[in-house]
Structure 1
Amino acid sequence: MTRTPTLRGAPVGRVRAALGTRDPLPGGRGFAGRIADPPGRSGPVLVRDVLGREPIFVERDATPETDRDPPTSDRDPTAPTNWSFDRHDLDDPVSVPAGGVASAEGTERVWTLPDDGPVDPDAGQAAVDTALDDVLDDLARDGGSADGADGAGSVGESGAGDLAVAFSGGVDSGVVAAAVPNAPRYVAGFEGCHDVAAAREAAAAADRPVDLRVVEITHEELVRAARAVAHATGRRNPMDVAIAVPLYLVAEAAADDGFDRIAVGQGADELFGGYSKVVDPADDHRVDADTVRGARTETVRTLPDQLERDVLAIRAAGAEPVAPLLDDRIVDAALALPGALLSAGGERKIALRRAAAGRVPESVRTADKKAVQYGTYVSRELDRLARRAGFKRRMDDHVGRYLDELLSDD
């Protein structure tokens, strides 16, 4: 079984150094793969960055059950037949944990998120401003290269001309799109949905012509994409399917138009406090924390699971995701922010919105954003299809049951 590359997302030397220092944010936008000669270890290891920005899988039974189990060749996760970036290469794939290192001796968590904040508000905002400037300047210059894995061909090899942008009209995708104004912007949704309307309004507010391409979702396309997403990700629950379907369809449309990569705004809501449950966490049952920063940390910890789904869906559609807002420089600056720059007075993503001033139209900078599954009407229409198929709302998990039946032959 041939796998090229053996490491994605970062040069081998950088990851080897990060293993030695346990630096969780060594630069770039995440990494995963096999390191043949890790420092201080007797054999090769598999690695995955602290936020799980690159998926990597191992056979479920390919690691020792306890630290005392002797390693054997068939239980070594680094053996060529026991790991892959593609879950379909394996019989029973499980993810290497974010921040984890897997070897014949077992799996351990090497990298953890930094928790040095909060910093002074002025210093925190300045750090976000600088990080965003630098990251978006890089995007404008090279179209989003993640500075490549050794021998990898991950992203950025052919310049900005092969880059499209997933665009919903909000501040997250707005700042990304503004950095590459010549790149076409893609939005998906059912007729009349929020995201398509917001994208059109944002495009009309831009100070130069925008190439906005709308992917109109129909029930037929929704069913087709749901099947593709479930196959790519291994997930069949309504939430994951509804989130991934619009991403898949946008990436597929861009790939069909000849674009190899698609830039996304993923990570901004988690890093900068964009969820409603971060606003008043002490009175919100959805989080355990009672502070804004604590609630934000909880949302950041959901990123590895979300990003695995999104990356697999986009790649299955034929494009490579580019996620500038998940660059280590932005992650580092965001994690250090005080709560007052995350959410206060009903405003969310305060630091990011301030940093976006002058980059996007004011209406985009301050726009409220709906979750993609609702803003595109995908969740609504999955519910409609489920009810038409006889799965009524009075039934427990009626959409989930519908999806189970729909996907039963896949």
Structure 2
Amino acid sequence: MATAPAAPAAGTPAREQEVREQVRQTGCQALSGRVGAMPGKGPVMLGSYEAAPGGEPLPPPLQQSAFVYDNALAGIALIACGQPEAARRIADGMVAATTRDRHYHDGRVRNAYRAGPVPEGPVPLPGWWDAPSKRWFEDNYQVGTATGNVAWAALMLLAVYESTRDRRYLDTAATMMGWVDKATYGSESPGAFIGGYFGEEPSPRRQGWKSTEHNVDAYAAFRWLARYSSDPRWRTGADRARRFVEAMWQPGEGRFAIGTRDDGRTLNGAPSALDASLWPLIAIPDAAGGWSRALDWTRARHMVGGGYGFNANPDGVWTEGTGQAALVLRATGREDQTRDLWPLLLSQRAPSGMLYATPERRIRTGLSIGPDSTTEDFYYYHLPHLGATAWAVLAAAGWNPFQPGGATGAAGKRADIAKE
């Protein structure tokens, strides 16, 4: 009688690969299931959060919210899953958002849209009805436009274009980044692309701070567009974003500062954010050398509970950031440091297959949502989260969202670590 093969021993490379593959497969199933649950085959926007099983309902600002960043990640992750048609529905939602805004006609996208199938006409924005005041409310951040979110939307469209060769996606990505180039460049030294615009039309507030993370995103999108067009805007934009990121490198500490303060000039050097420290390593070639020290900084200052937190000296695991770290470690030849991250990621799976944003009730970021905030009110909660699920898939698949074809590293060379 045939006997079943023995399960890989705990802690072995075979067991690590098995758990990593579980992270990939279950994440891909969750993402494709979210798209498939939408009726028809038309454009969609996926809700960013689900209510925790047995917990309280989502707060009103999150009940209908499909954040552009999360949807862009989900679309790229679906490409990594080998499901371009599911990714295409999200991409079609992003094209609709760019071309059918209720007010703007300049190529920007908002930070969030109403979750669900995208109807004809202006693409709906999220909001909620407040019965006591008998008023409809919209969140000022969600209806605004952050530069990094536009760049992520463009990155997703470029990934879908490469998978489908549908020219609409390439053209819409160019329209989006044309808006970034025209509307968000701040020339005051260090020159770079500013945070974006906060609040409702017709006169949203300009946010003059400059973000390392946003400029990494912009660099990647501009460079990708430059592969397909000789338009000098794309190389100029990439050069501007890159110079800013290089200026944010803090050699004494071995990390990147998160950016500047509101004046666009003064270094905001105290906070540390995991994405700002790690994303440059897989998005931008390190001409001067030494950026790999950021891996040691984040390991020393961001690790908590076997995973990674959002900021230095964190108060809990940030699932999304743990996926980011796993991908960057794999791409930079530190596979051995990911061994304990896969079981942690898998343990955050909710009944729906989505991953919780954090295993804690709430974790802080040390950042504020917008200029109206009087405290550092940007938190992550123990809620199933689209963005966390997508980053875990990208990490497990070995897919770099900043590079054509998911190439690992920052130089654009594809090492097919997804099939090792």
TM-score when scaled to structure 2? Answer: 0.27
